[in-house]
Structure 1
Amino acid sequence: MHLVKRFAATIGGVALLAVGAAMMVLPGPGILLIVAGLAVLATEYVWARRLLVKAREQAEKVQEAAVASPLRTAGSVLFAVGMVVVGVLMLVVDDVAWPFLASLLDRVWGPVTGGILVVTGLVLVTTTWITVRTARGEETTHTQGRVPGADSRGATRFQAS
């Protein structure tokens, strides 16, 4: 039974990593899928656990940098709102007369890309809001009940002297 679970985790994790890697150049939340793939693989592989910890630390640094100043926060929110607006337009407007690059833009303009942009914009707004609240010291579901110096499972980290 363990072999079946390991096989399923490997196939699922690799699939999520592959789709996430593709979404790094295509519209979509590529980073989220890469982290999800690592989380699935981390259930069975130590190397994936290490990568997941590093990815999480980097994600937290990027989130904190994105809200380090009011101008950056506003930029993140405006970008997210722009993504949602373009995504909704892609869902509502069937055909657009492009002044340039018509064949390329016609290939990406559609309801699938629009839906992905809407979801990605909403994810960006949500993570920005949570990060701002966390930076202010307010409790969120992300930080609620967390002990300073504890890892994601609540275990306290001790430093060797």
Structure 2
Amino acid sequence: MVPKHLKHVAVVTTGGILLVAGIALLVLPGPGMLLVLAGLVVLSNSFPRLERHVEPVRRLALQGMRESVSSPLRIAGSVLAGLALIAAGIVWGLVPTLPFSGWPTGSGLILSGLILLGLLGYSYRNVTRERAAQSA
């Protein structure tokens, strides 16, 4: 059995990482508001005062999700950004003369690209389902 304080630390750490990654993705390419929402939901389990922020962020996240896949150009740009992050991660992992070179930096870039592509696929699937339900 996991001690209660260790479970609390794990929840707070996970929520904090999701929140920080989401905030970073607000200025980088990608649906950062979805990660901000996920972080707030996780943290609100430990900090009930955060619950009042969940619904406004949920509305913004859903709006951002729809906008991120609103046109083929936006989808293409996001896919290219995700692939560029993955390629940059491979380069940073393999080329030792780059600043901060090595696999810790490279794997972070690769993970960022994979998260971006995963969230883009999630957004596309949900928006497609939403449109199909509205037209039915």
TM range (shorter): 0.5 to 0.7
Indicate if the aligned counterparts of 1:24 and 1:31 stay in contact, CA closer than 8 A: no
Distance change >3 Å, CA 11–CA 111, structure 1 → 2: same
> Does the C-alpha gap of structure 1 residues 35 and 130 become closer, same or farther in structure 2, counting only changes over 3 Å?
closer
TM-score in terms of structure 1 length: 0.58
What's the offset of the Cα at 1:54? 2.5
Count, aligned residues:
123
8 Å CA contact 2:19, 2:38 repeated in 1? no
Structure 2 stretches lacking a partner, 5+ long = none
Give the 3 Å change call, closer, same or farther, for CA 61–17 of structure 1 in structure 2: same
Amino acid at match of 1:16: G
**1:36 Cα shift?**
4.7
Across the aligned residues of Structure 1 and Structure 2, the Cα RMSD in angstroms comes to 3.7
Q: Within the alignment, does 1:123 sit opposite 2:115 as a pair?
A: yes
Change (3 A) 1:87 1:31: farther
Q: Distance in 2 between matches of 1:126 and 1:18?
A: 15
Is the contact made by 1:80 and 1:124 (CA closer than 8 Å) also made in structure 2?
yes
**Alpha-carbon distance change, 78 to 56 in structure 1, aligned in 2, over 3 angstroms:** same
Give the structure-2-normalised TM-score.
0.67
Q: Is the 8 A contact 2:15 2:43 kept in 1?
A: no
Partner of 1:12: 12
Which amino acid in 2 is paired with 1:72? Answer: R
Whole-angstrom CA distance in 2 between matches of 1:59 and 1:18: 14
Deviation, structure 1 residue 137:
1.8
Q: Percent identity?
A: 27
Determine if the alignment matches structure 1 residue 109 to structure 2 residue 112. Answer: no
Classify 1:134/1:24 alpha carbon distance in 2 versus 1 (closer, same or farther; 3 Å).
Answer: closer
Gaps of 5+ in 1: 97-105, 139-147, 149-161
